[in-house]
Amino acid sequence: MVLMLLAFGAAHSVNAVEKKFMDRKRGIEQANQLGRALEVHMPDWFEATGDSYFKHVNRTTIELSVAEARGSDAELSVRAAAKKSEAVTIADRLVAGTGWIPSPLRIAPAEAEQELGAESDEQFPQAAE
C-alpha cells in the first residue's frame, strides 16, 4: 500500500512531457534520473504496436521507426505500402519482438545528460566587465 502511495505521489510530481515551444529540459532530465535510479527498463512496460503507436504518427515517422528498429531494407517495405493503414500493419509486424521503443520513452544515459548540463549552464551570459 505504501509503495502504491509513493508511486502516486511521484507520478503527480514528475512531469517529463515534451511540449513544443516549451523548455522542458529539467523535467526530462529529472525523469531520466528517476528512471535510472529505479532501473526502469521501458520495453518491459511498453511495446510499439499499430494501436499503441504507429496509428498515431505520420508515415515518415513510421518509416524512420522501422528503419531504426530493423534496418533500411525493412523501411522499404513500409514505404511500398499504398495506404497508411497498410504501413501501420507492416510496421507492427516488423517491429514486434525487437524491444524498440520511441525516443520519448527512452531513458537517456547519464553521459548524455552531463553534456546537456554543460550547455544549460551557458544559457545565462556573463556580464561584461
> Domain spans of the chain?
1-40, 45-102
Residue with the bigger pLDDT between 24 and 50: it is: 50
Residue 22 clears pLDDT 70, i.e. is over it: no
Tally: H helices and E strands in the chain: 6, 0
What DSSP designation does 29 have?
Answer: H
Determine which helix (DSSP H) or strand (DSSP E) holds 8, and give its type and residue range: helix 2-13
Q: Say how far apart CA 52 and CA 104 lie, in whole Å.
A: 14
The sign of the CA dihedral 29, 33, 53, 71 is positive
Q: How confident is the model at residue 129 (pLDDT cuts 50, 70, 90)?
A: very low
pTM given for the model: 0.70
Q: Above 80 in pLDDT, residue 125?
A: no
pLDDT tens digit sequence for 49-79: 999 999 999 999 999 999 999 999 999 999 9
Q: What pLDDT is recorded for position 47?
A: 95
Place of cell 503507436: 53
Q: What percent of the chain has pLDDT over 70?
A: 79
First to last CA, the chain: 58
